[in-house]
């Protein structure tokens, strides 16, 4: 596989060859070599998880992925860190590097905060979600999940609905889907639809029935209240009526459409509870399962290509 960039901050610059190799490796991890064999892969490495914003799935997924490959994991409790004593973010990173971290996984509420910082770092920085910008491993695990259920991504019709204005997950997914030649539709109320979204390379809709029509994949997104500034937060009941994904609205998609959600699911807001639990359509827990395998592939690649 061609070398990865030193850091993984975005999906935009990944090549198809690199993405294919990551998916193949994730598939290998899923279908499994014996656990004892895997443990040798990152033995002696230390991964630091540094989360400045809430997370359950992503943090634990990175931790499990690292541990399955034999690495040590250090979770930093940010509220007790020396940033509170006036240390800069970069100084903190350089200290973690000097302490022997082999890679740092960071979630941060500010968009693009890792771009400048990572230029000063010799060890890989992995973006686990920066503000409204990107969440590259989520994008990778999502397209990996689509491939496992639907095969080729080329010509796949993917509808992404909900709070696109604040969704880093959507952005990381769309960069990847466009590379593969999938057709992407974005569905949101006007107030939650970014202007000039992907320079017109994504078709935008305000009507769910129209946007979902004939889709192979429908992805629901949470209303990301914590990332909203002065915008008006929609009334949840009204929102569900127009934009909540349920069996009724899903009838407009292909009969075998899969339903995805990066989580956390707000049942009865972006997604109806019965649909979230319907094994005929919902692949939501598969996304979570596949996420560990994809993060194993990412960690291994970033940590071993520098050797
Ligand atoms: C997402 C995130 O944090 O960006 N969740 C996740 O990582 N699985 C989406 C969200 O918060 O709505």
Say if ligand 1 is within 6 A of residue 138 CB. Answer: yes
Alpha carbon of 273 to those of 57, 149, 173, 244, 258: distances in Å?
Answer: 19, 22, 24, 10, 15
Q: What is the pLDDT of residues 55-65, one digit of tens each?
A: 889 999 999 99
pLDDT tens digits, one per residue of 167-211? 999 999 999 999 999 999 999 999 999 988 999 899 999 999 999
Ligand 1 atom with the smallest distance to the CA of 58 is 7
pLDDT bucket at 224, cuts 50 / 70 / 90 = confident
Asked if the model's pLDDT at residue 110 lies above 80, the reply is: yes
Q: CA–CA separation, 169 vs 277, rounded Å?
A: 21
Q: Whose CA is nearest to atom 12 of ligand 1?
A: 222
Dihedrals phi, psi of 81, to nearest 5 degrees = -85, 170
Closest-lying ligand 1 atom to the alpha carbon of residue 163: 12
């Amino acid at each position: 596989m061609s070398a990865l960039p030193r850091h993984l901050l975005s999906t935009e610059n990944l090549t198809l060859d690199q993405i294919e190799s990551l998916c193949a490796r994730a598939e290998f991890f899923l279908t499994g070599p014996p656990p004892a064999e895997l443990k040798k892969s990152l033995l002696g490495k230390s991964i630091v998880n540094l989360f400045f914003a809430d997370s359950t799935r992503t943090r634990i997924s990175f931790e499990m992925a690292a541990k399955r490959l034999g690495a040590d994991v250090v979770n930093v409790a940010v509220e007790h860190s020396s940033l509170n004593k006036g240390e800069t973010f970069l100084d903190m990173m350089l200290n973690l590097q000097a302490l022997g971290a082999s890679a740092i996984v960071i979630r941060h509420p500010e968009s693009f905060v890792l771009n400048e910082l990572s230029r000063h770092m010799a060890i890989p920085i992995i973006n686990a979600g920066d503000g409204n910008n990107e969440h590259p491993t989520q994008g990778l695990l999502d397209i990996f999940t689509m491939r496992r259920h639907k095969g080729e991504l080329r010509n796949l019709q993917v509808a992404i609905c909900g709070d696109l204005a604040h969704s880093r997950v959507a952005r990381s997914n769309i960069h990847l889907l466009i590379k593969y030649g999938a057709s992407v539709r974005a569905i949101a109320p006007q107030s939650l639809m970014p202007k000039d979204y992907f320079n017109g390379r994504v078709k935008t809709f305000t009507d769910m029935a129209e946007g979902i029509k004939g889709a192979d994949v429908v992805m629901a997104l949470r209303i990301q209240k914590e990332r909203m500034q002065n915008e008006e937060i929609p009334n949840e009941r009204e929102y569900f009526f127009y934009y909540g994904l349920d069996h009724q609205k899903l009838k407009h998609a292909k009969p075998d459409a899969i339903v995805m959600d990066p989580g956390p699911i707000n049942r009865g807001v972006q997604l109806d509870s019965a649909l979230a639990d319907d094994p005929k359509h919902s692949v939501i827990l598969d996304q979570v399962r596949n996420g560990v395998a994809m993060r194993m592939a990412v960690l291994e690649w970033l940590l071993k290509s520098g050797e």
